[in-house]
């Protein structure tokens, strides 16, 4: 039996609608709408597309968007000065500095300069530490979106075996911590894992976030496992065309119980969760409780 498709696109649309529905009440109480500032340095095509999508969806949610496009040659001091100004701007609830940054800029220094209360990407050391120690804070958007999809599909995750493939600060590590907080038994696998197929074969949940096309083979999966494919890889489809594929072999759909498609699975969740985080940041900064406590 083919796996059930986990429709991240539809879930993300519902989440964005819930965020938009909560904005008017905040505006009535605070006298302003939530504000998201996005900083793009340089002209990376993929980043530019992503920033445009964020701007469009921010407006659709009824929020204020503040876009700052800087030349690739912008020096680190100028970028840090912009971050400090956004930290101090009362109209800005969330700050997102689009990665990657040009090579001459220290990404860690720029991320660390963001006010943790406005760090809606969840990348600052303070928010990473709060996640690691079980304290409330902001969680990176992609892994939080993955967790939402898993809980929507499976309900209570307690006691399930989970494998997270990849150990980045953006997806792998926070994903593992979120699953631990749900009382899963978690293995973090990576390029040095000695027997990756065996580790995956024990897992009820597989989250693949390595950036290697079709690396996870169908034969490695436990029958009925739930698979979250975070990978978005562009490959040659022939005749000068390219196509997007995930980190999991498409044949996995014949073994898994449920799987996210690529595209249309995890990708749409990232911006939806970003808007959710911005809404939460606005409420926290204004001292206004969220009417929808499930957000």
Locate 52 and state its tokens: 């445009």
Same fold, 31-116 and 141-268: yes
The residue from 93, 98, 119, 249 that is catalytic is 98
Looking at residue 125, what is its pLDDT?
A: 97
Q: Mind listing the pLDDT tens digit for each residue in 10-54? A: 999 999 999 999 999 999 999 999 999 999 999 888 888 888 999
Under the banding of pLDDT at 50, 70 and 90, the label for residue 139 is: very high
Q: Is 173 one of the annotated active-site residues of the chain?
A: no
Higher local confidence (pLDDT), 266 or 44: 266
The residue from 93, 119, 121, 204 that is catalytic is 121
Q: Mind listing the pLDDT tens digit for each residue in 85-124? A: 999 999 999 999 999 999 999 999 999 999 999 999 999 9
Q: Is 54 one of the annotated active-site residues of the chain?
A: yes
* Phi and psi, residue 135, nearest 5°: -95, 155
Sign of CA dihedral 152, 158, 160, 165: positive
The residue from 54, 118, 173, 222 that is catalytic is 54
Q: Mind listing the pLDDT tens digit for each residue in 167-220? A: 999 999 999 999 999 999 999 999 889 999 999 999 999 999 999 999 999 999
Q: Is 222 one of the annotated active-site residues of the chain?
A: no
Under the banding of pLDDT at 50, 70 and 90, the label for residue 240 is: confident
CATH number of the domain located at residue range(s) 31-116 in this protein: 3.40.50.10860
Q: Count Cβ atoms within 10 A of the Cβ of residue 244 and give its class: 0-12 exposed, 13-18 middle, 19 or more buried.
A: middle
Under the banding of pLDDT at 50, 70 and 90, the label for residue 242 is: confident
Mean pLDDT of all residues in 128-144: 97
Distance between CA atoms of residues 115 and 109, nearest Å: 12
Looking at residue 168, what is its pLDDT?
A: 95
Distance between CA atoms of residues 70 and 105, nearest Å: 13
Nearest-CA neighbor of 40 among 78, 3, 67? 67
Q: Mind listing the pLDDT tens digit for each residue in 140-169? A: 999 999 999 999 999 999 999 999 999 999
Distance between CA atoms of residues 233 and 166, nearest Å: 15
Sign of CA dihedral 96, 98, 104, 109: positive
Locate 176 and state its tokens: 């593992």
Q: Which residue has the tokens 């979106």?
A: 145
CA 180 to chain centre: 18
The domain made up of 141-268 is a member of CATH 3.40.190.10: no
Under the banding of pLDDT at 50, 70 and 90, the label for residue 7 is: very high
Locate 156 and state its tokens: 């209570």
Distance between CA atoms of residues 213 and 235, nearest Å: 8
Q: Locate the domains of the chain by residue range.
A: 31-116, 141-268
């Amino acid at each position: 039996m083919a796996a059930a498709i986990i429709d991240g696109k539809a879930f993300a649309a519902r989440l964005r609608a819930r965020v938009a529905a909560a904005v008017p009440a905040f505006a009535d109480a605070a006298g302003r709408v939530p504000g998201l500032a996005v900083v793009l340095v340089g002209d990376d095509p993929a980043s530019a597309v992503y920033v445009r999508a964020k701007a469009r969806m921010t407006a659709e949610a009824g929020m204020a968007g503040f876009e700052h496009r800087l030349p690739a040659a912008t020096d680190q001091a100028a970028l840090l000065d912009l971050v400090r100004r956004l930290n101090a701007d009362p109209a800005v609830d969330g700050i997102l500095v689009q990665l990657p940054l040009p090579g001459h800029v220290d990404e860690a220094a720029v991320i660390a300069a963001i006010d943790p209360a406005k760090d809606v990407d969840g990348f600052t050391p303070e928010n990473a530490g709060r996640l690691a120690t079980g304290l409330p804070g902001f969680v990176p958007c992609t892994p939080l979106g993955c967790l939402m999809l898993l809980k929507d599909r499976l309900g209570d995750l307690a006691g399930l075996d989970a494998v997270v493939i990849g150990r980045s600060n953006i997806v792998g590590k926070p994903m593992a911590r979120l699953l631990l907080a749900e009382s899963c038994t978690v293995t973090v696998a990576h390029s040095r894992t000695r027997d990756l197929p065996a580790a995956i074969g024990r897992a009820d949940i597989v989250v693949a976030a390595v950036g290697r096309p079709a690396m996870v083979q169908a034969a490695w999966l436990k029958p009925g496992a739930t698979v979250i494919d975070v990978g978005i890889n562009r490959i040659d489809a022939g005749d000068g065309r390219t196509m997007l594929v995930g980190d999991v072999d498409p044949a996995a759909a014949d073994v898994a119980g449920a799987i996210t498609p690529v595209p249309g699975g995890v990708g749409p969740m990232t911006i939806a969760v970003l808007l959710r985080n911005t809404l939460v940041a606005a409420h926290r900064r204004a001292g206004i409780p969220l009417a929808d406590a499930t957000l």
